Amino acid sequence: MKFGLNKEKKAELNTLNKQIQRKKLYIKKLDAKNSPKEFQELKKLEALYHQKNEEYGTLIGNSLQELGHSLHETYVAPINYGLTKISDTAAYFKMKQPEWLSNPRKRQHIANILYAIFCLVFTGIQGWQHLKHLPGLTEAIFTIIKEGIEVGKSIKDMFTSAAAVV
């Protein structure tokens, strides 16, 4: 059994990758953002990615990618729903809305950002909670951070000092 791609398939994959890169650059250079032309080009780019995954992706990789996207959409949906309701309420009372709230695409971006912030804070809190289980380590790291802030050390220097303690 032979693994990998033969020369023909590698050449086809390289051509497809070049088409994807050209399409990305073209979309980036478009003048009007959120225009119908941009949406058309984004659909074409999505089709190229789909074609690449269908022809050259693995079953496990494609399944995990699909699962990741569906879970992300599920987690972001309540945030996006809340932002939509805020926008609807503001429109109902004829209040001036910022562009990020009135534009559905930008609302989705804001929902993604809020979700990312939540994930980072949550994992940071969980990491800190796990550090508490190690005797003496939490106090040492807290002291290094406190003294580093007082002296004006960079984050890199504080991280290096904390890593030396561990």
The structural domains of the chain, with segments of one domain joined by +, span 1-54, 67-125, 134-166
pLDDT of 73 strictly over 50:
yes
Per-residue pLDDT of 18-70, as tens digits, reads 999 999 998 888 877 777 888 898 899 999 988 988 888 888 888 898 899 99
Average of pLDDT values for 77-97?
90
Cα–Cα distance, 88 to 97 (Å, whole number): 10
Q: Which residue has the higher pLDDT, 58 or 86?
A: 86
Q: Which helix (H) or strand (E) holds 69?
A: helix 59-92
What pLDDT, on the 0 to 100 scale, is given for residue 3? 59
What pLDDT, on the 0 to 100 scale, is given for residue 166? 60
Per-residue pLDDT of 95-134, as tens digits, reads 888 888 888 888 898 999 999 999 888 888 887 777 777 7
Cα–Cα distance, 67 to 78 (Å, whole number): 18
What pLDDT, on the 0 to 100 scale, is given for residue 158? 77
What pLDDT, on the 0 to 100 scale, is given for residue 165? 66
> For residue 155, what are the CA distances in angstroms to 48, 137, 152?
42, 18, 9
3-state DSSP percent of the chain in helix, strand and coil, to 5: 80, 0, 20
Q: Are 37 and 5 in contact (CB under 8 A)?
A: no
